[in-house]
Amino acid sequence: MAAGLSIAALLSMVLVMAERSTRSSRPTLAAALVHFGLGLVALGIAFSGPYSTQVETSLGKGESVQVGPYTATLNELYEGRSSNGAYEFLEAEIRLSRHGKDIAVVSPQRRVYAKFSQSAFAEAETRPSLGTEFYATLLGLEQGSKAVLHLSAHPLVNWLWIGGAIMVLAPFLGLRRRRPAEHDRATSGDA
């Protein structure tokens, strides 16, 4: 229901903005754009939560798992130290493919900082997309050579950010300084 209502709101705002009278009035256009942004936020919420896919799995080198529309394959595991010596890391190199075609490589890390040697920190890796965004987090090692991973795919999650940005920036379009001649006409019409 939320998806249908947000699509209806988006279409109605497109129709409103298609009218010449809306485009000629900057405050009216700004208000229509704010409502359009709200529709994008609602669309992002409607799809990103209920249709997200999350998988927690352990993979050995060459093993794969399906996460939403993506196939994630563990290519390699690396251990090392940062160039400045601030932390040691364990990194998983994960190849993403969709419909048999390789599209990206993500490399989440598990870090142990020299100043916080009792705690390990996860550095998630993201594959951004306007469609389905992919997140990978390396949780640790299992049996020495298997990576324990939390993988998730969230459709339309970036539309939340795009809609929010439109909602924040559109009101600036409606701001303008009145010229003295406009002010005089407006006040003389009231008399």
Q: Each residue of 1-40: pLDDT tens digit?
A: 878 888 888 899 999 888 998 888 888 889 999 999 999 9
Q: Each residue of 124-137: pLDDT tens digit?
A: 999 999 999 999 99
**pLDDT in the model for residue 21:** 86
The helix/strand/coil state of 127 is: strand
Which tokens go with 174?
A: 């409606």
Return d(Cα 162, Cα 147) in angstroms, integer: 34
Q: Each residue of 40-96: pLDDT tens digit?
A: 999 999 988 888 999 999 999 999 999 999 999 999 998 898 888 888 899 999 999
Contact between residue 62 and residue 89 where contact means Cβ atoms under 8 Å apart: no
